[in-house]
Amino acid sequence: MNVNFADIAEYIARGIAPKYTDDVNNSIEVINQRCIRDYALNLELVRLNDLGKRNVSEEKTLQKYDVL
């Protein structure tokens, strides 16, 4: 069975290119490709995006029931 993503999703988009930092202040966790392996999510591998250099819009912030 073939399904078009547009028929089952409300929003489809690429992420943003993060500005990585080690500073936990004014930052947000980034789930990148290396965090998702073998159908599992490893949150130990997240990195931090510096919100002062690259803001993240609400639509690009992971919400409950989102699909990665």
Show pLDDT as tens, one digit a residue, over the chain (68 residues): 898 888 888 888 777 789 999 999 999 999 888 999 998 999 999 999 999 998 888 888 888 888 77
Q: What is the pLDDT of residue 25?
A: 93
Q: What pLDDT does 68 receive?
A: 72
- N-to-C CA span, the chain: 21
pTM of the model: 0.68
What is the predicted pLDDT for the residue at 14? 78
pLDDT at position 12 is 80
Q: At residue 47, what are phi and psi to the nearest 5 degrees?
A: -120, 170
Q: What is the DSSP string of the chain?
A: ----HHHH-S---------EES--TTEEEE--GGGEETTEE-GGG-EEEETTTS---GGGS--TT---
